[in-house]
Structure 1
Amino acid sequence: MDKSVAALTPVVENSKDWQRISPIALLFFTERLIKFFVSNLVAFLPALYFGYDGLKENPQLGLAIIVGILLFICLTTFLNYYFFQYRLTQDHIEIRSGVFSKKHINLPFSKIQNVKLEQPIYYRPFNYTCLQLDTAGSAKQEAQIVALKVDFAEQLKKEILAQYSITHHAESPDDSAELTPEAVENEIILNTRSIADLVIHGITNNRIWIFLGGLAPFFDKIASYIVSTFSDFGINIEQLLTFSDKPMWQITLYAVTLTFLILLPFIFFSIAGSVVTFYHYTLSKVGDRYIRRSGLLTKYEVSMRLSRLQMVIRQQDWLDLLLKRINLKFEQANNVLTQHQAGAQNNRIIVPSIFAHQCAALVDDVYPNNQMMTIAYQRISKRFLLRNLVFILLPLYSLVTVFLTVTGKTQLLWGITPLAIFAALLIFMRWYRWGYASDDNYIYIRRGFFGVDYLCFEHYKVQQVKFKQSWFQQRHQLCSISVVLAAGAINLPFIKADKGSAMLDEILYQVESSGKSWM
């Protein structure tokens, strides 16, 4: 055994007895439950909308509901804490949790590939942290101990990684290099983000339509409240918005000002979210392990072995294109299972709002000799436009037009026609962006609408391929292909059938002949 590996011998005492976590974990379970309610707030909006008048007439009913929710949170929090236990054996960690749905997780140290520490702000004064354990399996096999002393968690982390290193040392002598004390001391900082970068990231990644969609049922009440509020200050909004006697420049100014006022609070909210998530951001490298550290209220540490990297995504929305910024994502196994869960971006390797030269340096570091931005991409067939515009959108618009004309509601066409034109524009931009290419080592996909994403992954990472042909595609010698990686499926529609077949054959050949593991 290598001396550097043997130096990290197990130092955490084993115990046959189940251990309880600190009572400070009550704060953790409370926060998690509150996040659940907030993340599902849209689902409760219809009930709130229809029950608003009744609650207004019977405020005691609303008070009872609030008290009931608080009691439910307190009881659920206590039960989650009470039933959470863990036990350390010689080379395993066991975790029991759950109130009604019991969970018992038994993880060998040798199977744990990543150990992540998360320290919420309410843990810092007491020097506690959360220890998250990540295996190569599904997200359901991941586990966490929600309240450990920082020193003990760091000690346990070293022991787990040392055990993994010892187990795999014989298979790959270089696989454990990053776990040696010398390697840790030589940690390389690859990238950092300033507050200004995070502000730009918050602006360019603002998802205002999600909030506006959730508020849609309340627009009438919100409008009435705004009118009433301004009336209290002597401002007649209805008179200001009467455009019949106003010049066009004044109408335009009103529209721009109103739009800006509506967008402003959502932009501030998005910026705040970006700063909270990525504050004090660093991306570093130890051996073949990439480590992301960030977080204002909660400190996150996410690591990824290079062997676990499934795909690199170079992402630019339309505002990113204008500001010449790029969001780079390193997709690893399991991300497809967790990316829609609350806090998912905190568990991913994301480099927000970087410049083109910074992006190129990071991509070259993980994928040497890649041609992501220099290779010639082939567009998908124009018959994609024919199918979606001529055979789907145009007949649908024609049927709606005929129906509205027959029913005498032609005035609605002033609203439906712009929507149809916008849908046609989206379909065209989708075709215009969609492209593909490959070389001896990598496959490249380009896609998007008004923004553009570039995807790059290695042939041997593919786990499954699909070749599909509809009657329309078969008639015109076209096909759609799909490749499945541990990070998700990637679809490529309306390409030449012979090229699609050749690409899949090359992928299968690389998978069989390379002898490399996807993990």
Structure 2
Amino acid sequence: MNNSFDFSNFSRQSPKGILVIYTNLIYKVIRVTWLLLFLILKDFSKVFSIVGNYIYLGLVVLLLLLLARAYLIYKNFQFKIADERFILKQGILKKTTTSIPFHRIQNINFKQNIIQQIIGVFEVSVETAGSKKTEIAIKALSLEKAEALKELISKNTQFNQHPTEKDETKPLIKIGIKELFKVSLTENHLQNLVLFLAIILGFFQQIEQIVSSLGDTALFDGFIEESTNALSASFFLVTVLLFFLTFIALMSSFVKIFLIHFNLTTYLKDDSFEINQGLFTKKTTILKKQKVQNITVSTNPLKRFIGIYFITFKQAVSGKVNVKKNKLIRIVGCKAEQVAIIKQRLFDATDVENEEKKYPDGYYKRRMFIWVFLFITILYSFLYLIFQQIEILYSTVFVFPFIIFLILKKVKKRFYKITETMLLLGSGLLETHHTYFEIFKVQNIKMKQTIFQKRSNVADLILQTASGKIKIPCIQFKDAIEIYNHTLYKVETSKTSWM
């Protein structure tokens, strides 16, 4: 262990943190006042002629006030480690002290944005289970001090212990550019295409406003009309445009994936996973294995064809937390053997994977058909009443077979496998999701049965874990009772820590 830093006494972050805090404050001000800035820039010459000097004076005063605030935040931000607790003091007028025991720390994140990379510092953030946001964020630490702090917290050790050997010296998983390109091919290109078209439309609206301010809109309208007529009359131009839009969608997906997941590398260190990724904003996440509530392995026909899978780690969350943004940790572009290694490191899933699949009762499929076709019937009734054209109903020739196909696919992918210690759940529609979790991590279990389910002798099981609810729908009542009793028994008798 790195003992070159004394964390037992209060210390501050690097003085370079003043610059990081300062730029962050400026960004927040711009984000709040961007509409006002846009209005000023739009009519800058008119505004400047009236209050030009006051604008410059106000800008200087604002920047000085933000600089003073950044310095005070830096000066009053102090932290130390004592009695296996992280203690933080902060605040300018309202002083607060935060104390977090090591055992409550869920994961440790390292980040470097462009400013932090230029000045050579790291942001270290500490998250706990159930918190709405990052509880501790140290904006600027040197690499050596950040590594020492990370090692101390992640190992939950005292200061006088000797260093331990790492479990792995080589990366457990390393995702290269080729794999990232494969990942980008499987992204939601339609969403990117819609975003691109929205930007283009916004650009043309800005051009139209500028031309309108110059008082000559006829020329611009004529140009748009001629271009539209030429495009609609030429099959070649339409084909080129479609290829261009497809290329833009593919490239935007690749750029997004490349920026977020660049140099994605996963290490196993002691009992923690260390996940590094990012280009402009580099991020390192330290994930304790015992704090992982469950994992989901996802794929789809295209991903399966090119041989990649996504692994999503789920941790304990608060009900008020946005799970998608704050608590999900994902490794993209994994190969089948890499998925097997991750599962092996977390738990032994061999037995549960060898079990026979058990599917929901036929009631589940019947219920889906009834609700979906009821919705389709109501939708087409409204469409017919609005447009008064019988031709609208012709589309049902294609819609209904497609809906039937999707329902059958969803039913086929919904299954469960259970052993003494593990539960494997399958779900999905176009994608396939396999969720693995250990039964002793269930916090409570509910069995629900509507009057219609009671007639068919089926019930729903809802398992509440620290990462959210997991549902097994419409299984035979006797099977539900058996799983219910077995789960309660394992939860009550297990002595293994799940946090």
The whole-number CA distance in structure 1 between the counterparts of 2:436 and 2:137 is 31
Whether the aligned pair in 2 keeps the contact of 1:80 and 1:98 (CA below 8 Å) is no
Q: Determine if the alignment matches structure 1 residue 409 to structure 2 residue 388.
A: yes
- Post-superposition Cα deviations, 1:33-83, rounded to whole Å, max 9, x if no partner, equal 49978xxxxxx9xx99xxx9x99997879999xx99x99996779757744
List alignment gaps of at least 5 residues for structure 1.
1-6, 38-43, 170-178, 244-249
Q: Residues 330, 79 of structure 1: CA spacing in aligned structure 2 closer, same or farther, 3 A cutoff?
A: same
- Post-superposition Cα deviations, 1:462-505, rounded to whole Å, max 9, x if no partner, equal 11212111222111111111112222211222222221221122
The whole-number CA distance in structure 2 between the counterparts of 1:428 and 1:61 is 64
Q: Residues 88, 136 of structure 1: CA spacing in aligned structure 2 closer, same or farther, 3 A cutoff?
A: same
Whether the aligned pair in 1 keeps the contact of 2:21 and 2:139 (CA below 8 Å) is no
The secondary structure found in structure 2 opposite 1:12 is: coil
Q: Which residue of 1 aligns with 2:173?
A: 191
Whether the aligned pair in 2 keeps the contact of 1:321 and 1:451 (CA below 8 Å) is no
The secondary structure found in structure 1 opposite 2:279 is: coil
Whether the aligned pair in 2 keeps the contact of 1:10 and 1:159 (CA below 8 Å) is no
Q: Which residue of 2 aligns with 1:446?
A: 426
- Post-superposition Cα deviations, 1:125-155, rounded to whole Å, max 9, x if no partner, equal 3221111123345344632111223233233
Q: What's the offset of the Cα at 1:459?
A: 0.7
RMSD (Å) for aligned C-alpha atoms: 4.6
- Post-superposition Cα deviations, 1:227-271, rounded to whole Å, max 9, x if no partner, equal x9999699844344259xxxxxx6xx8776544432322321221
The whole-number CA distance in structure 1 between the counterparts of 2:222 and 2:449 is 62
The whole-number CA distance in structure 1 between the counterparts of 2:171 and 2:323 is 26
Q: Determine if the alignment matches structure 1 residue 319 to structure 2 residue 302.
A: yes
Q: TM-score of the superposition, structure 1-length normalised? A: 0.75
Q: Determine if the alignment matches structure 1 residue 518 to structure 2 residue 498.
A: yes
Q: What's the offset of the Cα at 1:413?
A: 2.3
Whether the aligned pair in 2 keeps the contact of 1:325 and 1:355 (CA below 8 Å) is yes
Q: What's the offset of the Cα at 1:95?
A: 3.6
The whole-number CA distance in structure 1 between the counterparts of 2:151 and 2:202 is 57
The whole-number CA distance in structure 2 between the counterparts of 1:335 and 1:184 is 32
Query: Which amino acid in 2 is paired with 1:313?
Result: T
The whole-number CA distance in structure 2 between the counterparts of 1:394 and 1:491 is 24
- Post-superposition Cα deviations, 1:168-216, rounded to whole Å, max 9, x if no partner, equal x9xxxxxxxxx95341385342111111111111221235327627967
Q: Which residue of 2 aligns with 1:299?
A: 282
The whole-number CA distance in structure 1 between the counterparts of 2:31 and 2:299 is 30
The whole-number CA distance in structure 1 between the counterparts of 2:29 and 2:487 is 46
The whole-number CA distance in structure 2 between the counterparts of 1:429 and 1:149 is 52
Number of residue pairs aligned between Structure 1 and Structure 2: 475
Q: Determine if the alignment matches structure 1 residue 310 to structure 2 residue 310.
A: no
Q: Residues 474, 214 of structure 1: CA spacing in aligned structure 2 closer, same or farther, 3 A cutoff?
A: farther
Whether the aligned pair in 2 keeps the contact of 1:370 and 1:442 (CA below 8 Å) is no
Query: Which amino acid in 2 is paired with 1:134?
Result: E
Q: Determine if the alignment matches structure 1 residue 204 to structure 2 residue 186.
A: yes
Q: Which residue of 1 aligns with 2:469?
A: 489
The whole-number CA distance in structure 1 between the counterparts of 2:60 and 2:467 is 40
Q: Determine if the alignment matches structure 1 residue 431 to structure 2 residue 408.
A: no
Q: Determine if the alignment matches structure 1 residue 340 to structure 2 residue 305.
A: no
1:357 aligned to 334, 337, 357, which one? 337
List alignment gaps of at least 5 residues for structure 2.
209-218
2:24 aligned to 1, 26, 29, which one? 29
Whether the aligned pair in 2 keeps the contact of 1:25 and 1:81 (CA below 8 Å) is no
The whole-number CA distance in structure 1 between the counterparts of 2:220 and 2:286 is 50
Whether the aligned pair in 2 keeps the contact of 1:26 and 1:78 (CA below 8 Å) is no
Q: Determine if the alignment matches structure 1 residue 154 to structure 2 residue 147.
A: yes
Q: Determine if the alignment matches structure 1 residue 124 to structure 2 residue 111.
A: no
The whole-number CA distance in structure 1 between the counterparts of 2:248 and 2:425 is 36
Whether the aligned pair in 1 keeps the contact of 2:14 and 2:142 (CA below 8 Å) is no
The farther-off stretch of 229-238 and 507-516 is: 229-238
Query: Which amino acid in 2 is paired with 1:238?
Result: N
The farther-off stretch of 461-470 and 379-388 is: 379-388
Q: Which residue of 1 aligns with 2:374?
A: 395
Q: Residues 399, 153 of structure 1: CA spacing in aligned structure 2 closer, same or farther, 3 A cutoff?
A: closer
Query: Which amino acid in 1 is paired with 2:316?
Result: A
Q: Summarize the alignment of residues 457-472 of structure 1 with structure 2, pairs less than 5 Å apart.
A: 457-472=437-452
Q: TM-score of the superposition, structure 2-length normalised? A: 0.77
The whole-number CA distance in structure 2 between the counterparts of 1:60 and 1:419 is 57
Q: Which residue of 2 aligns with 1:506?
A: 486
Q: Determine if the alignment matches structure 1 residue 288 to structure 2 residue 271.
A: yes
Q: Residues 190, 217 of structure 1: CA spacing in aligned structure 2 closer, same or farther, 3 A cutoff?
A: closer
Whether the aligned pair in 2 keeps the contact of 1:128 and 1:149 (CA below 8 Å) is yes
Q: Determine if the alignment matches structure 1 residue 87 to structure 2 residue 70.
A: no
Q: Which residue of 1 aligns with 2:454?
A: 474
The whole-number CA distance in structure 2 between the counterparts of 1:235 and 1:298 is 44
Q: Which residue of 2 aligns with 1:143?
A: 136
The farther-off stretch of 123-132 and 362-371 is: 362-371
1:238 aligned to 229, 232, 240, which one? 229
Whether the aligned pair in 2 keeps the contact of 1:285 and 1:291 (CA below 8 Å) is yes
Q: Which residue of 1 aligns with 2:214?
A: none
Task: Report sequence identity in percent.
Answer: 19
